Structure 1
Amino acid sequence: MAPIPSLHTRARRRILTPAARCAAAIEVLAEIGSRRRPAADALKDWGLAHRFAGSGDRAAIASLVYDALRRRASAAWIMGADSPRAILIGSLRLQQGLAVPSIAGLFSGEGFAPDPLTEVEWERLSEGRLDTAPPEIAGDVPDWILPALREALGEEALLPELRALARRAPLDLRVNTLVTDRDAARAALAHAGAEPTPHAPQGLRVPIGADGRGPPLHVEPEFLEGWYEIQDEGSQLAALLAGAKAGETIVDLCAGGGGKTLALAALTGNRGRLVATDGDPRRLAPIHERLRRAKAQAEVRTPRGGRGRADVLEDLDGKVDRVLVDAPCTGSGTWRRNPDAKWRLRPGSLATRLAEQDAVLARAGRLVRPGGRIVYVTCSLIPEENDGSLGRFLAGAGGTFASVPAADLLAGAPAGLADAVRVTARGVQMSPALTGTDGFYVAALERRA
């Protein structure tokens, strides 16, 4: 058989065939696997090296790569191999539901298609099953994290939740009530099929396509005018459960790009003092333009670099009504969106996140006035990062803080949410199978004196 031409030789072609996209996805998966690179970086580099590939090609290749990473363990199981080629082939069956002849049509060896399916690959595709696979394989998670997820989710819900974590995430929007209302935004986005989210009162959900991508809502006139922000429903609910009120002094201590800062500004109607900061000043870069577009009012305090940098919040110590701690974490609750992150996660990473959580909680504790609250949020399903971190903080606080009961936390929640979340020892846990959201954890601590 003649050698398959390199994709580099296709410089004059503008549209890749589906088979050539599979070949490209295998290249990217090999790069991710060999160098342990984030998928986004490997995909970007592939696009730069293959400039003939249009945006549609790049989007389709990205979808193939992310689907393969979502089902990496189970695809390797049914194929009996863990090579990039085997994982992609297995994911075409498991994630996209393609029949064996359809997969064979993509792996024909003709033109720029990958080599034809071998006899063994035909057999594995036809007969491979997950019935006897252990839960970490059937659920596509690293084996070392399984005990923590079992503790968080329970034995009965474990596999359904893991499978939900391996599906594609929906495309959710938060309507900005500083500018418009949900009915108006829904009407403006009727062409995109926008419908209300199940729980968040200002949320809209837009259908995603067969490639797992939604429409380019960031170029719509309404987005440019601040009508909505792209934000998972779970993140919207976490901001809502913070209980922010007009007239309060509120600090968003780990504001990052400002998603929850914007939500807090809308919830208070810009009638409060809202301060946003982050330990990493680079993460704050997008917040200024987002605040302007959303017509949201917040004071952004950017720390300077260096060992001796000043504390930009020192003047607020003991004066803040509510501190939102959107804590650094493993991000296990967002694996639908970032499937490569779960395979790059190591036990040492968890230890690092726990130390960061301890530090940010200690800083939040100094900010809160007596009677004020810390609202602690993670996008994690790992109990040690959630109840565990709060337990460590409370143990060292000498009775200064107390957990707010989940019933109080949920008192102002939308109807039905209390029945959908898991109540933990110190907070509430959302999850893909139970609430249809990313895996957000929310808890609150109140300062007694």
Structure 2
Amino acid sequence: MTATAEPVGTTAVDAARWPDVARVPPSRVRGTVARAISLRAFARLPIRVRTPGGPLPSGGGPGTPVLELHRPDAFYRRLAAGGLIGFGESYMAGDWDAPDLVALLTAFGGGFADLVPRPLRPLRALALPTQPRAERNTRSGARSNIRRHYDLSNELFALFLDETMTYSAALFDGGPAADRADLAAAQHRKIDRLLDRTRVGPGTRLLEIGTGWGALAIRAAQRGARVDSVTLSREQCDLARARVAAAGAADRADVRVADYRELRGSYDAIASVEMVEAVGERYWPVYFTALDRLTAPGGRVGLQAITMDHARMRASRSAYTWMHKYVFPGGLIPSVRAIEEQVRARTALRVADRLRFGGDYAETLRLWRAAFDAGREQAAALGFDGVFHRMWSFYLAYSEAGFRSGLIDVEQIVLERA
């Protein structure tokens, strides 16, 4: 029989599957310190905090987001032991909730710089865990990291993605989207813009690094391009091949499992959508050198990348976060400056076009999360338990809040080779 912790609400924690969620760290002393720091942060943030013993002093008034602390002691002890990892695990365990999770996390994001008292900030680097060596993006490590996310289940991703099965920021035509049909149109708009800017048309030799589930490869093939598309995910590869065949494009688009470091050839255009975030800083030189080597004279590279402020990236680049532990092992969101520095140092490419559209990513994530939450029963039937549901919902809300607060952004960056 599988051991479980006490259920919180309707969520029982499987201690074998989620050991760090089931276990509450034992140190009450450190929990007391974390409580004092948290109370200081609550008082400065535009939120309200409610506990079983009544409301806590906080900086928010009527109408501001609410943090419901169901088990304050467990919350503080997890925070003391794991920082933001503990914050996320505490949500997974059901120690706290929020009627509007995105609004609450956006408020936290807006006050991010002030959450830790100034005298303690130099100690953050010492307290933060560092990335495990096993999660570095060596060839074997990259395959393992990708499998842990993208090979979860094609059926799971289909629950919340639109019909294009595109798992990256959409580009909307102004105003909020109403439903998945709007999202599909916005995904096609994003893909078409990248293909337009990289001049993909009849006869173009296109390389796609990071297949997803085939939407860009299909769109390019329909323009008459000849597409080589590579992924490290076997699940993605199998479904992308089937989708390419169903679209009647199998003679123009080849999808295979391969590492970008293995590729050879010369291409008129390269597309790499939200893949650089999975490369890792240690391997950026190899990645950008590969882009340069694979781009033919006069060719173009279309990158779509999630980005963050350069100083914040440098401060957090060696940290091991909740997102690494549970969602995207081995990743690092680059800054635009870091990308530009790699392009100058490693390539003969130059920036020809840029578009920022972080607000569109927030809208994309809103629609994904609504669809994911609506599909909770279907996810459970696929074997994903209540803790997984809270984890994934937190990930989508956390990401949306990042874009809404401006902590992260997304850009299409087009590079051209002379």
TM-score by length of 1: 0.42
| Higher relative contact order (Cα pairs below 8 Å, separated by 6+ residues) | 2
Q: Which has the larger radius of gyration?
A: 1
